Amino acid sequence: MIEVEGLSKRFGKTQAVRDLSFRVDPGTITGFLGPNGAGKSTTLRAILGLVHQDEGSARVLGVPYRQLDRPLHRVGAVLEASEVHPGRTGRNHLRVLAAAASLPRSRVEDVLALVELSTAAKRRVKGYSLGMRQRLGLASALLGDPEVLVLDEPANGLDPAGIRWLRDFLRTLASEGRTILVSSHVLAEVAQTVDRVVIIHRGTLIRQATVPEVLASVQGATRVRSPEAGRLRELLAAQGGAVTAVGDGTLAADLPPERVGEVAAANGIVLHELTVERATLEEVFLELTGGETTQ
Amino acid sequence: MSALLASELLKVRTTRGWYVYLLVIVLFGGLAAAAEIGSAEDARRSTLEFQVGLVEAASIAGLLGLILGITIVTTEFRHGTITPTFLAAPVRERVLAAKAGAASLVALLFFVLALVVIAGVAVVWLAVVGADLQAGSGELWERVGQTLLGAVLWALMGIAVGSLVHAQVAALVGTLIWIFIGEPLLGALLGLLDLDGLVSYLPFQALDAADGAGADSLLAYGPGLAVAAAWVVAIGAAGLVRTSRRDIS
């Protein structure tokens, strides 16, 4: 559906993307994650034929974007909310794009209603809030009812209610069988929505997997509660695990739960609780990217 | 292709600047015609030469066409709308071709509007003072055709410049400075070097000649048209390469 192979792009002295390869399968929502400046926008723009890569290839629906016949009918994209002429009305902005794609005017009204902008459509875009501009961007992406959607930081600048609206909206779009690639530097925005993640950092691929796979790959701490926490702590530390006291009689150990249970049993220590803390996607993200996020 | 052309024309019509262009043409065309007729002697007003000269005022369509041509390319870079434009039509040459078509059509409209205003003023005024109209003259209509073609060439020059220099202010101000200061200075310099013959080959000197108005310092109409067209093609080709290669980021 979307295939990126060996993509590299340099802007002057900055290597924005380096030998990046990943794929987005049909019918999935893929989160494209990385800190600000990781090369996400450059990659998306290369996929869409806006940036010329130095090396490698990017294909959408099997061909480079530029070779797509009637591209707006196949691929919808939202790159930046500000890419609208401020003096044009929201409706006219969409009419211009609809005309270029030979779409009927009724589509303009359809997508305006879909993103709940019908009442603001006759106003000039310069009077729009950032959230309204984001929704206008989504409307333009949906004009041609495309099977693939590429969204670059669609939640940027949205308030919590707007982010929630967006999340529900993306879920609806995905349930219609569309393929969605959505980038973000704020994981919480997409964590509940995406099936797969592609994580990049400094222009290179860090991880490409399903959300459960990524979560499983990072061992969470083992949490153990015992009336003899002090003795257990010394014994676990002797096993080479990093152990910290996290509360009254509770320890967090950097050891598998099996090992903690064995140590406790071998020393006759009573346990009141033994659980594995699941790493959140947020923690995985921070760990994989060395904590360099803006969060 | 016609879809992109329709889209480009819609872009032109859906911003406020559009009405400013039309207003300037009506005002300038009307005032220029009135000034010419008002300052001419009675006998001269009936001559073909005078009435052919009136058509010259319609060349305002060319200057405004140039500004519009530069603007319809550079405004897309200024406001970032070039991104959705290229997403809808990823083969960039087609977008520039559509813009060239739109600019030509708009220049044609500007010219017709200017001509209608000038003719309106002239017909009424000349009738009042009892002068003869030469509307049946082939020479008059030949000049109309030449000035129209010139206006279209000026607009195409605007597309060429805009596709080469994407920064809007630089493109607009730079072009106007070039026309009113750069070329005259360069002309004077060439004169000092005894290269006067080259002056009339400068781009906007040639475009002036392509209006058909003629002047001793300019090339004759035919060569002027050819040189002007060559400049438009050369700058347009450079602009095509520049726009095609540019990363939109």
Stretch A104-122: mean pLDDT? 94
Encoded tokens for A266: 């071998």
**In this structure, is the dihedral angle defined by the CA atoms of residues B103, B105, B108 and B112, taken in order, positive or negative?**
negative
Name residues 192-231 of chain B within 8 A of A (Cβ).
Answer: none
pLDDT score, position A285: 74
Distance CA B114, CA B119 (A): 8
Name residues 214-243 of chain A within 8 A of B (Cβ).
Answer: none
Q: Tokens 């707006």, residue?
A: A72
pLDDT, greater one: B228 or A195: B228
Stretch B116-125: mean pLDDT? 93
pLDDT, greater one: A229 or A48: A48
Q: Are B185 and B200 in contact (CB under 8 A)?
A: no
Count Cα atoms within 13 angstroms, Cβ side, for A228. Answer: 13
Question: What ipTM goes with this model?
Answer: 0.89
Of B6, B16, B248, the CB nearest to A87: B16
Stretch B205-232: mean pLDDT? 87
The pTM for the full model equals 0.87
Would you call A25 an interface residue with chain B, using a CB distance cutoff of 8 Å? no
Q: Is A188 exposed, middle or buried (0-12, 13-18, 19+ CB in 10 A)?
A: middle
Helix A105-114, helix A90-100: angle, nearest 10: 130
Name the band, by pLDDT with cuts 50, 70 and 90, for residue B56.
Answer: confident
Q: Tokens 């906007």, residue?
A: B204
pLDDT score, position A240: 80
**In this structure, is the dihedral angle defined by the CA atoms of residues B7, A140, B78 and A79, taken in order, positive or negative?**
negative
Least confident of A153-162, A222-231, B203-212: A153-162
How far from chain centre, in Å, is Cα A34? 8
Q: Tokens 């998306």, residue?
A: A44
- Chain A nearest-CA distance from B153, in A, is 25
The amino acid occupying position B100 is A
Strand partners, A170: none
Q: Which residue of chain B comes nearest to A66, CA vs CA? A: B90
Distance CA B224, CA B218 (A): 8
Given a cut of 90, is residue B194 above it in pLDDT?
Answer: no
Given a cut of 50, is residue A110 above it in pLDDT?
Answer: yes
Q: Tokens 């919480």, residue?
A: A188
Contact at CB, A85 and B90, closer than 8 angstroms: no
Neighbours of B192 (CB within 10 A): 9
Stretch A87-114: mean pLDDT? 95
Would you call B94 an interface residue with chain A, using a CB distance cutoff of 8 Å? no
Would you call A102 an interface residue with chain B, using a CB distance cutoff of 8 Å? yes
Phi-psi sector, A18: left (phi>0), alpha (psi -120 to 50), beta: beta
Least confident of A36-40, A89-93, B59-63, B113-117: A36-40
Given a cut of 50, is residue A159 above it in pLDDT?
Answer: yes
Q: What are the residues whose beta carbons fall under 8 Å from the beta carbon of B55, sequence distance 6 or more?
A: B115, B118, B140, B143, B144, B147
Reduced to 3 states (helix: H, G, I; strand: E, B; else coil), residue A248 is coil
Neighbours of A87 (CB within 10 A): 15
Least confident of A185-189, A238-242, B34-38, B93-97: A185-189
Inter-CA distances, B119 with B19, B56, B63, B112, B136, Å: 21, 12, 20, 10, 13
pLDDT score, position B1: 65
pLDDT score, position A126: 93
Neighbours of A273 (CB within 10 A): 10
Inter-CA distances, A166 with A83, A145, A156, A157, A280, Å: 19, 17, 11, 12, 21
Q: What is the pLDDT of residues A208-218, one digit of tens each?
A: 988 878 777 76
Neighbours of A162 (CB within 10 A): 18
Chain B neighbors of A49, CB-CB under 8 A: 86, 90
Q: What is the 3-class SS of A86-140, one letter each residue?
A: CCCEHHHHHHHHHHHCCCCHHHHHHHHHHCCCHHHCCCEHHHCCHHHHHHHHHHH
Least confident of A81-90, A168-177, A286-295, B146-155: A286-295
Least confident of A71-80, A101-110, A219-228: A219-228
Neighbours of A180 (CB within 10 A): 23
Least confident of A7-11, A71-75, A231-235, A247-251: A247-251
Distance CA A20, CA A14 (A): 15
Q: Tokens 């550079």, residue?
A: B74
Encoded tokens for A262: 């064995």
Distance CA B9, CA A284 (A): 50
Name the band, by pLDDT with cuts 50, 70 and 90, for residue B102.
Answer: very high
Distance CA A102, CA B154 (A): 30
pLDDT score, position A291: 57
Given a cut of 90, is residue B101 above it in pLDDT?
Answer: yes
Q: Are A244 and A251 in contact (CB under 8 A)?
A: yes
Q: What is the pLDDT of residues B2-35, one digit of tens each?
A: 899 999 999 999 988 899 999 999 999 999 999 9
Strand partners, A251: A224, A245
Average pLDDT in chain A: 88
Chain A neighbors of B247, CB-CB under 8 A: 11, 45, 50-52
Encoded tokens for B145: 């055709």
Interface test with B, best of A48, A60, A69, A85 (most B CBs within 10 A): A85
Stretch B153-169: mean pLDDT? 97
Given a cut of 50, is residue A293 above it in pLDDT?
Answer: no
Q: Are A72 and A112 in contact (CB under 8 A)?
A: no
Where do the DSSP E strands lie in chain A? 2-11, 14-24, 29-33, 55-60, 75-78, 148-152, 179-184, 196-201, 204-210, 222-225, 243-247, 250-253, 273-276
Q: CA triplet B203, B205, B206: central angle to 5 degrees?
A: 65
Distance CA A20, CA A34 (A): 13
Distance CA A55, CA A47 (A): 13
Given a cut of 70, is residue A294 above it in pLDDT?
Answer: no
Distance CA B102, CA B106 (A): 6
Would you call B5 an interface residue with chain A, using a CB distance cutoff of 8 Å? no
